[in-house]
């Protein structure tokens, strides 16, 4: 009985998912979670070799179809071309996860250049917009879909020297809510996942240092960073959520965002 309930509520068999930034970190975790639940997955990022390698590993491990392709989320023409290619290959995109992003340089605002701000906004926010626009057009034709945008707790609880990153993630949160309002008529749900500090390849060295541990003690009531596996169930829920769940921010942050 329990297995039947799981397969009814959380199975992704017959679904196709596109994950940007899907070859490492949170993106890779999401790609594997969806594949384990039965979805075919497309992994895209600027690093084509890494995407191809990750797709091959996922296909071999879970027995689903997996494609890796190069895509710069900032380039509208490339995004449109890749989305068209995936539609030809899979026939549809049921789930989009916008996970591609960069942290941005840690500088005071008065020392930031225009380029510093542009770099992080173009990838973290504009990239989310460009990919969402392209995929939403296809989801409208299909009369359904799920869009999951990955923001951050720092879109709500800001930090010094992170102006670009905080601004970009706040923009992603607001943008996702607009998407939800505009797309609900087409049976498309848009929600935003806001992780706190998680152990990834990018920040593992810092979070394991004394300075990193001190920051976690000051900022995170649970007194530890998250582990990637702790995102699995929420990512899967957002990929299978009912139509009534849309426009929501979901924080997984050890109570960092609690006032």
Write the DSSP symbol of residue 257: T
Instruction: With beta carbons less than 8 A apart as the criterion, state whether 64 and 58 touch.
Output: yes
Angle, helix 127-142 to helix 163-183, in steps of 10 degrees: 10
Catalytic residue numbers, as ranges = 165
Q: What are phi and psi of 73, to 5 degrees?
A: -65, -15
- Length reported for the chain: 259
Query: How far is 4 from 16, CA to CA, in rounded Å?
Result: 21
Which residues does 141 contact at the CB level (< 8 Å), separation at least 6? none
| Count of C-beta atoms within a 10 Å radius of residue 204 | 13
Cα–Cα distance, 35 to 39 (Å, whole number): 5
**Which 3 state secondary structure label does DSSP give 119?**
helix
């Amino acid at each position: 009985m329990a297995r039947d309930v799981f397969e009814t509520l959380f199975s992704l068999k017959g679904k196709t998912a596109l994950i940007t930034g899907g070859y490492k970190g949170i993106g890779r975790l999401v790609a594997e979670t969806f594949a384990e639940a039965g979805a075919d997955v497309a992994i895209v990022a600027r690093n084509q070799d890494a995407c191809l390698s990750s797709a091959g590993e996922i296909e071999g491990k879970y027995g689903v179809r997996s494609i890796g392709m190069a895509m710069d989320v900032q380039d509208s023409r490339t995004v449109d071309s890749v989305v068209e290619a995936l539609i030809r290959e899979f026939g549809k995109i049921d789930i989009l996860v916008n996970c591609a992003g960069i942290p941005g340089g840690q500088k005071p605002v008065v020392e930031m250049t225009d380029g510093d701000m542009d770099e992080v906004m173009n990838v973290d926010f504009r990239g989310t917009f460009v990919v969402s626009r392209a995929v939403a057009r296809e989801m409208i034709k299909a009369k359904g879909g799920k869009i999951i945008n990955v923001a951050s707790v720092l879109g709500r609880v800001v930090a010094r020297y992170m102006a670009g990153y905080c601004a970009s993630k706040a923009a992603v949160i607001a943008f996702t809510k607009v998407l939800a309002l505009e797309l609900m008529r087409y049976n498309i749900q848009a929600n935003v996942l806001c992780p706190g500090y998680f152990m990834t390849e990018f920040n593992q060295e810092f979070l394991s240092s004394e300075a990193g541990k001190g920051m976690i003690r000051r900022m995170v009531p649970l007194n530890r960073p998250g582990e990637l596996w702790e995102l699995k169930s929420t990512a899967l829920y957002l990929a299978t959520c009912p139509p009534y769940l849309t426009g929501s921010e979901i924080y997984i942050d050890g109570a960092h965002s609690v006032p």
